[in-house]
Structure 1
Amino acid sequence: MRDNNEMPGHLARRFQQIAVAVFLAEVEQAGFDLTPVQYAALAAIKMNPGIDQVTLAGLIAYDRTTITGVVDRLVQKGLLVRHASPRDRRARELQITEAGKRTLRAITPAVEAAQRLMLRGLNEKEGAELMRLMRKAIAAGNELSRAPLREAELR
């Protein structure tokens, strides 16, 4: 039997635990109440105004059924609004509010600090190499995920 520290799945899970803890600590210290998924959703909607929830889920590699709760919380916080789609009565388009835009601008330094902290044991070259290798591994296993990224997001 192999040591857990020799298994990529275990190491990926540990890095995810660290990444979430660091993100939440930095964001909370800056005075915000957003999870990493809420931040990713808000940023994706800002860059793609009017997208629907299914498209959003694909953009951030999140499960289509649970994205509703993420969007609900962002709407409750006043950071997003939903509108009926003029193209599809069943779909709801998502728009970031002015409060959402202000939040993204204000939270950016904390998010960037969190990213640096996640890689603090690596020098710049090692950090870039880790990022390259993670992107490569994710691209190779993307279709195995329950929430695969769209092809364009893999680059």
Structure 2
Amino acid sequence: MEKLDSIIFYNIDKAIRAYRNYAQRQLKANGFSITIDQWLIIKAILENPGIIQNEIGDLVFKDNASVTRIIELLVKSEYIIRNSNPDDRRKTNLEITTTGKEIIKKIQNLVENNRKTALKGISKEEMKIMNAALLQISKNCLTSK
């Protein structure tokens, strides 16, 4: 019988969890009160103006309830503003505040350093192969019935 550590999907998940835990510890150690998920949602809104909540969930791999909860925390922290959509009252427009933009800018160097630490010892060629393989796995799963 195969061992867990010989299963690639187990190792992918383990690596992702280890990185997220490491990145969250680094944020806290450097005095930031924002979480990785909050950072992801702010980045998603910044990079996709006009994005709606359901699309944010798809982009950051979170369910709608989690996204709603995180957005509420971001509004309370004054990182984002929620405005009514003039064309559809059921929707809200999300806008990043100056404070939200500043926190993203302040965290950027830390994020880059976290990535360097996590990818230490992996060559550019290995990165290229790994990225291609992960994209192919995603494509296979999305296109298979």
TM-score tier, shorter chain, comes to 0.7 to 0.9
Question: Residues 26 and 113 of structure 1 are in contact (CA less than 8 Å); yes or no, is this contact kept in structure 2?
Answer: no
Alignment of 1:101-140 (within 5 A): 101-140=101-140
* SS of match in other structure, 2:121: coil
| TM-score (norm: length of structure 2) | 0.87
Shift of the alpha carbon at 1:143?
A: 6.9
Measured on the aligned residues, the alpha-carbon RMSD in Å equals 1.9
The one-letter code of the counterpart of 1:103 is: I
Residues 1:8 and 2:8 aligned together: yes
Q: 1:102 to 1:40 in 2, by over 3 A?
A: same
| TM-score (norm: length of structure 1) | 0.82
1:17 equivalent in structure 2? 17
**Aligned pairs, how many?**
144
What is the alpha-carbon distance in structure 1 between the residues aligned to residue 37 and residue 129 of structure 2? 24
Q: 1:33 to 1:129 in 2, by over 3 A?
A: farther
Q: 1:142 to 1:27 in 2, by over 3 A?
A: farther
Question: Where does the alignment leave 5 or more consecutive residues of structure 1 unmatched?
Answer: 145-155
Question: Where does the alignment leave 5 or more consecutive residues of structure 2 unmatched?
Answer: none
1:149 equivalent in structure 2? none
Question: Residues 49 and 96 of structure 1 are in contact (CA less than 8 Å); yes or no, is this contact kept in structure 2?
Answer: no
The one-letter code of the counterpart of 1:133 is: A
The one-letter code of the counterpart of 2:72 is: D
What is the alpha-carbon distance in structure 2 between the residues aligned to residue 52 and residue 58 of structure 1? 10
- Runs of at least 4 residues of structure 1 off by over 3 A? none
Alignment of 1:61-76 (within 5 A): 61-76=61-76
Residues 1:77 and 2:72 aligned together: no
**Which shifted more, 90-99 or 24-33?**
24-33
